[in-house]
Amino acid sequence: MVHMRLSMVVNMDPSLEPEIRRASFHEELEAAETALLSEGSVVARQLELVMDAVERQDLGLAHDVIAGDDEVDRIYLENEERILNLLALQAPVARDLRLVSAILHSNLHLERMGDLCVNIAKFVRNDHSYPADSPMVSRLQEMGARLAEMLEVTLSAFAQRSQTLAEELPERDLVLNRLNRGMLDDLKAYAGDEEAFEWATNIVLVARYLERFGDHCVDVGEQISFLVTGVFREFTDASK
């Protein structure tokens, strides 16, 4: 069987080689996008688990999130290698090049989202005791729910090449930013209690991780916009 396959390659019409290379390129590109969306699904699960861990102060769930980051990293590294090989060996142009670039950048953003879930899990694992009925914990849970929706929109926008969905992301991010800023007002209520102020300060840090998670979703949205329109622009003005 091996000799027969080698004979087929040797006797192949040279005029067919570019067509075969193009077919292989698009198969690899499709595989890269599939892997990216799979990575997004794993990150979404990580986010769900870590927010449950925060709500329940569950050390076991926090450990699962930290261990689960290996899968995010595996997909990230394999996909990065695949994309870099495509760039090096296939020299894509025009729309294909935009897709390669969008996958490469989005792959990194998703990996960073996974890292943020790990950071939150470490907060829980370090056994920072805090009252479950605190308004700050409730605010964290709202941020987590908003983020789950935001990530779902992000992945759908990529899969559907939807500029409309991508444009939703900065508006959703504004809601997260407001919730995050509200944490500082909540923190003031604990200023006179040294012990409570310590855990409350850590809660603020967790909120910052969640806020940053939303920023990564917006960054992926910018890549989707570039993919669809061919023009890169930032959705938000960082100078403001």
pLDDT in the model for residue 11: 46
Burial profile 56-81: b = 16 or more Cβ within 10 angstroms, e = fewer: ebbeebbebbbebbebbeebbeebbe
Enclosing domain of residue 122: 19-229
Radius of gyration of the chain (CA): 22
Is 240 part of any domain? no
CATH code (residue 131) = 1.20.58.220
Is 55 part of any domain? yes
pLDDT in the model for residue 16: 41
Give the 3-state secondary structure of residue 207. helix
pTM: 0.87
Which residue, among 23, 71, 20, has the nearest Cα to 46 in the 3D structure? Answer: 71
What does the pLDDT look like over 86-125, one tens digit per residue? 888 887 788 899 999 999 999 999 999 999 999 999 999 9
Is 90 part of any domain? yes
Is 207 part of any domain? yes
Amino acid at 185: D
